[in-house]
Amino acid sequence: MNYAEFLIWVRGDAFHWSLAIFIFGVTLRLLEIILIGRKANLAEKRGSGVAGGIRTIFTRFMPNQAVLPRVMHTLVAGYVFHIGFFIVLLFFAPHVALFEAAFGFGWPALPNGVIDFATIMAILGLIAVLINRLRNPVQRMLTGFGDWVAWFVTLLPLVTGFMAFHHLVEPYPLMLALHILSVELLLIVFPFTKLMHTFTLFLARYYTGENAGHRGVEI
Amino acid sequence: MSSASFERGYHAFKEQIDSSVAAYFQSCVSCGMCAEACLFYTETNNPEYTPIYKLEPLRKVWEQEYTLWGWLKSSIGLSRKLNDDDLKQWQHYIYDSCTLCGRCSMVCPVGNDIVSMIRKAREGMVAAGHAPEGQIGASKRAVTIGSPMGVKLPALQAQVRHIEKDTGLTIPFDTEGADYMVLLSSMEIMNFPEYLEAIARIMKQAGKTWTLSSQAFEATNSGIQIGSTDIARELVSRVVNAAESLKVKTVISPECGHAYTAIRWEGPNLMGRSFDFKVKHIVEVLDELRAQGLLKTEGFEEQRLTFHDPCQLVRRGGVVQQPRNLMNMISEDFVEMPDAGMMNWCCGGGGGAAAIEEAEELRTQAFMCKKNQLDEVKADALVTACANCRIVMEEGLEAYDMDIPILGLTELLAEHLVEEN
Amino acid sequence: MSQKTIGASLRSQGISRRGFLKFCAATASMLALPPAVIPQIAHALENAKRQSVIWLSFQECTGCTESLTRSHAPTLENLVFDLLSLDYHHTLQAASGDAAEHARELAMEANKGEYLLIVDGSIPTANKGYSTIAGISNIDMFHEVAKDAKAIVAVGTCAAYGGLPKAEPNPTGAVSVEDLITDKPVINVPGCPPIPMVITGIVAHFLTFNTLPELDSLKRPLSFYGQNIHDRCYRRPFYERAQFAETFDDEGAKKGWCLYKLGCKGPTTYNACATAKWNEGVSFPIEAGHGCIGCSEPDFWDAGSFYKALSVPLSGTAQAAGYAVAAGAAMGVAAGAMNMAKRNSARKTHETVSIDDLEREQS
Ligand code: SF4
Ligand code: SF4
Ligand code: SF4
Ligand code: SF4
């Protein structure tokens, strides 16, 4: 298989299969969670549960001030990675073109210099995340095999994307294909690891916020 | 006679898992931030006290019972099944090193309500027979005698007679249609009878009718603390029945955090129905009276005061501003400890932990967080609104040779009541 | 089978020394050779015999030949034919029928082991009858001529990689030269069509150094195909600034912004278009306002719509996603229903915990 055929394969069959696994897995896992069910809260309410739930979805994007000094490393690494990652994912022109084709609408892309910077930030953030994970006894204890895998498959697309963008490996189509392949690996692994938090954190925050909102607690 | 068993515990775990638990476990990114909020970790640096790690048994059951993926992993031998030894080991984490303070739930970046899961995990531990002896004893006393400390009605009546004689006030029992039915915690009956006296005086000044119930005067709910819905329901139903038979408008939860959670938030869910009466914490009631101008005080405390927020009142109850309004009525030098309010540090003995003898050393160690807070403000006295916090903190202060008196907020207010002629 | 040297032949046609050297210089620069070798090229070409070439056309559209004959420098067309002794080319040669085939056989005989075989078009393998010349199937003629060729040049994407005939679903079972040849040097000169100068350049190289030029992994001469269109594209600054034409007639298009979103395949294409350009260096597709379609890359017909961005997956994605949602939903509902039932049954079979149940039975 030459690189051109390889590129066609990753843009075609491989993409379709990995996307299918991703969508299948995410749908399955979300339904698995939601359908278990919950008891209704019968206690007389002091506030709106729904409002509380929605509120918490947003407030939890901000760190809690009280523990801030103690979690600074993790927090900064986490933010740098996530912000960098989402800038690259959502605002690199070729990515925008992909979303535009998928959703039927697009948005302006950012110049490549910005994307390049964001990629480096995301990679450095991930490396810092790893260093924290190895050094912090709590994180080390909590981190399981799947979490290491999740870290690795998240790093790969960033690194391969960076290498493709800078033509660090020739021919470029081969590197591009490897980049897309790494994304496909991420898609496949996604539903079966903690990467699912991307979606489930909204459920988690809602449930927590709803309970608090019902009690009139602002969290 | 039936008895606790691993199978019953496992069954209870299955029963407790719901969408929220599943979403929480699925979302946890192992960031370890919850540990940094938990006094048992911050004061010991032992990673095993990480809140989410305390839930490992429940997590296992979720993964293997409620996810296809986890079921697959366990059927091909990639993950081990939960066993009784795990539960034995986890008793220390789920009971001794957790006061259900809820700080962890405040910081989790993905929004996990970790403490709600510890509460649920206790259901399984109880059913499996891995609850601490001290809490088993308290629960038995609560169900059979009527109070976890073994306080019976005659003891209360004796205290009441005492107060009536001293003050000339009447303390009503079983008055139908009263505005308020006042509950007590045995801690108050035995150690702080001033509370009852304070209530009597405040109610008189406010012109409200109130009553005690001879059927249900104890508010402490050992069932909530040990983590048994059935026992909790049994205890709550006594209060509900008494309140409904006396047709009172409002039941006042005493200066106790967990009692409030038990009746106000868990109560209706335990009973499976909402109540005809309202449930309020005494601090809420006092603040309402203040707002209506029915609580009149005079004079100010000269000493520097600070206020300890009971965990269940703030993070799990949303009563944050009320005690501050009240403090300001009677204190000119009211200072806040760092992290006061929503993120206040736990006394170290909530959630029934105070009843666990074998965990006393750990409790003392964890009290360091409170000590640090207190050292920061250098208060002359510490005010709180939970008799349990009060006892635990007294022990803690003693352990660290700190000479700071602890006052109950209600009593303090009563001391400043405008005397009427 | 001219025995004249190239030099003699050129002079007889009235081409000046100056014009000849210009051609040599152009060839050197195209081959990415230093100016110092120009005299060497000139010397070699002058004294070389015209190279005998047999040109076979199989499943093709004659576009490649058209391209070749439209070589831009007016003298170049001559040069092309003076460099080569085109002994067989059924489109261009005067002879036809048996005479034509006879010429081919003669050339093969006379230059055995020395002649260059140039092929355009792909070769059908599904059925020999799909394409024949003078009653001989393409594949048979190919093997026959290839046997004694010194080297084979596959001109155009069809010969090099199968091209249009090989595009999905490839009804004729088309294959490329490379697919059939393992024991001989093969040079691919892909493009649909290829740039004419590339062909002359390769032959010049062959005559000068008596070797094949350096090739890339797809057997393309590196000197022509080492350049990435996107890397040499004059619209590249717009790409970097994320300024794109969204349609062929919007403001962006008028301002000459990048054509990525309109499907330009420049980033994955290696060819000399952006530098050598077409039609006497006048322009090339991107300059004319149309994205590169990647014509010099294998299977470019199957690499997605010419008008969809490179980052857009090949068609079928929506369908795959649709099936996955359906399957995930079906399985999720099943698993969820099981979970729901499991929890409900656990709750229903709840054994009340009384204070007598708090401890294990002492056995
Ligand atoms: S509830 Fe409090 S004591 Fe329990 S784990 Fe969370 S932070 Fe620690
Ligand atoms: S803070 Fe939340 S996400 Fe982080 S380890 Fe604890 S439970 Fe998991
Ligand atoms: S027009 Fe095509 S080759 Fe030119 S910069 Fe844009 S994508 Fe690259
Ligand atoms: S610009 Fe692209 S499509 Fe056009 S001729 Fe050149 S390589 Fe082929």
Domain boundaries, chain C: 6-225, 229-302, 318-362
Angle between helices B56-66 and B6-16 (to 10 degrees): 70
* B231-257 mean pLDDT: 95
**pLDDT of residue C78 exceeding 90:** no
Task: Residue B225: name the closest of B254, B198, B260, B197 by CA.
Answer: B260
Sheet holding B381-384, edge to edge: B334-335, B305-308, B381-384, B406-408
**Model confidence, pTM:** 0.91
For residue C260, the ligand 3 atom closest to its alpha carbon is 7
Give the sign of the dihedral formed by CA A62, CA A67, CA A69, CA A70.
negative
Domain covering B3-131, topology = Fumarate Reductase Iron-sulfur Protein; Chain B, domain 2 (1.10.1060)
Domain B305-415, CATH: 3.40.50
Fold of C6-225: Rossmann fold (3.40.50)
pLDDT at C76: 47
User: In chain B, pLDDT over 90 holds for what percent of residues?
Assistant: 90
- The pLDDT of residue C75: 46
For residues C2 and B243, the model is more confident at B243
Distance B60 CA to ligand 2 centre (A): 16
Of the candidates B360, B356, B308, B315, the residue with the CA atom closest to the CA atom of residue B334: B308
Q: What is the percentage of chain A residues whose pLDDT exceeds 90?
A: 95
Write the pLDDT tens digit of every residue in B123-149: 999 999 999 999 999 999 999 998 888
Answer whether C154's CB lies under 8 Å from C225's CB. Answer: no
- Please give the ipTM for the structure prediction: 0.96
**Over 60: is that where the pLDDT of C79 sits?**
no
Q: Which fold has domain C229-302?
A: Cytochrome-c3 Hydrogenase; Chain A, domain 2 (4.10.480)
In the reported structure, the alpha carbon of residue C54 is separated from the centroid of ligand 3 by a whole-number distance in angstroms of 38
Band (pLDDT 50/70/90 cuts) for residue C363 is low
Chains near B, with 3+ CB pairs < 8 A?
A, C
**Chain A environment of B280 (Cβ under 8 Å):** none
Amino acid at C88: Y
Indicate if the alpha-carbon torsion angle C293, C296, C300, C303 is positive or negative: negative
B13-27 average pLDDT score = 97
Residue whose token pair is 């702080």: B192
Nearest C-alpha neighbor of B399 from the set B346, B347, B351: B347
For residues B201 and B213, give the distance between their C-alpha atoms in angstroms, rounded to a whole number: 18
Atom 6 of ligand 2, residue of closest alpha carbon: B34
- pLDDT tens, position by position, C308-349: 999 999 887 788 888 888 999 999 999 999 999 999 999 999
- Over range B192-197, report the average pLDDT: 90
| pLDDT score at C281 | 81
pLDDT band at C97 (very low <50, low <70, confident <90, very high): confident
Most A CBs within 10 A among C166, C293, C297, hence the mutation to make, goes to: C297
**Class in CATH terms, B136-290:** alpha beta
Binding-face residues of C in 275-334 toward A, CB within 8 A: 297-300, 302-304, 308-314, 316-317, 319-321, 323-325, 327-329, 331-333
* Shortest Cα–Cα distance, C169 to chain A (Å): 15
Query: How far apart, in whole angstroms, are the C-alpha atoms of residue B287 and residue B295?
Result: 8
B303-317, C114-128, C307-321: segment of lowest average pLDDT: C307-321
Nearest beta carbon to residue A35 from set C313, C317, C337:
C337
Cβ neighbours of residue B287 closer than 8 Å, sequence gap 6 or more: B321, B322, B323, B325, B326
CB B163 within 8 A of CB B197: yes
% pLDDT > 90, chain C: 54
Closest C-alpha to B277, from B249, B253, B297, B258? B249
Query: In angstroms, how far is the first alpha carbon of chain C from the final one?
Result: 109
C15, pLDDT greater than 90: no
Distance C309 CA to ligand 3 centre (A): 11
Is pLDDT of C74 > 60?
A: no
Measured by CA distance, the residue closest to atom 6 of ligand 1 is B104
In chain C, the percentage of residues whose pLDDT exceeds 70 is 94
The full set of domain ranges for chain B reads 3-131, 136-290, 305-415
- Count Cβ–Cβ pairs < 8 Å, chain A vs chain B: 180
Chain A nearest C-alpha distance from C192 (Å): 16
Give the pLDDT of residue C80.
57
* Amino acid identity at B242: A
Name residues 210-229 of chain C within 8 A of A (Cβ): 216-218, 228
Quote the pLDDT of residue C71.
Answer: 60
pLDDT at residue A128 tops 90: yes
**Residue C347: its chain B contacts at CB < 8 A?**
15
Please state, in angstroms and as integers, the Cα–Cα distance from residue B188 to each residue in B193, C149, C350, following that order: 6, 108, 35
Q: What's the CA gap between C177 and C139, in Å, rounded?
A: 10
pLDDT of residue B182: 96
Report the mean per-residue pLDDT for chain A. 95
B3-131 against B305-415: fold identical: no
- For A93-107, B103-117, B220-234, C42-56, which range has the lowest pLDDT when averaged over its residues? C42-56
C124-142: average pLDDT: 94
Task: Kindly determine whether residue B28 and residue A32, on different chains, have CB atoms separated by under 8 Å.
Answer: no
Helices (H) and strands (E) in chain C, counts: 17, 7
Q: Which of C267, C311, C339 sits opposite A172 (nearest CB)?
A: C267
Of C161, C159, C163, C152, whose CA–CA distance to C202 is shortest?
Answer: C152
Instruction: State CA B142 to chain mean position distance.
Output: 16
From the list B313, B303, B323, B377, the residue with the least C-alpha distance to B347 is: B313
CA-based nearest residue in chain B for residue C332: B68
Chain A residues within an 8 Å CB radius of B38 = none
| Ligand 2 pocket member B114 (CB < 6 A) | yes
Q: What torsion, rounded to 10 degrees, do the Cα atoms A185, A189, A195, A199 define?
A: 100
pLDDT, tens digit (0-9, with 9 covering 90-100), for C261-311: 999 999 999 998 988 888 878 899 999 999 999 999 999 999 999 999 999
pLDDT band at residue C77, thresholds of 50, 70 and 90? low
Q: Which ligand is nearest to the CA of C274?
A: 4
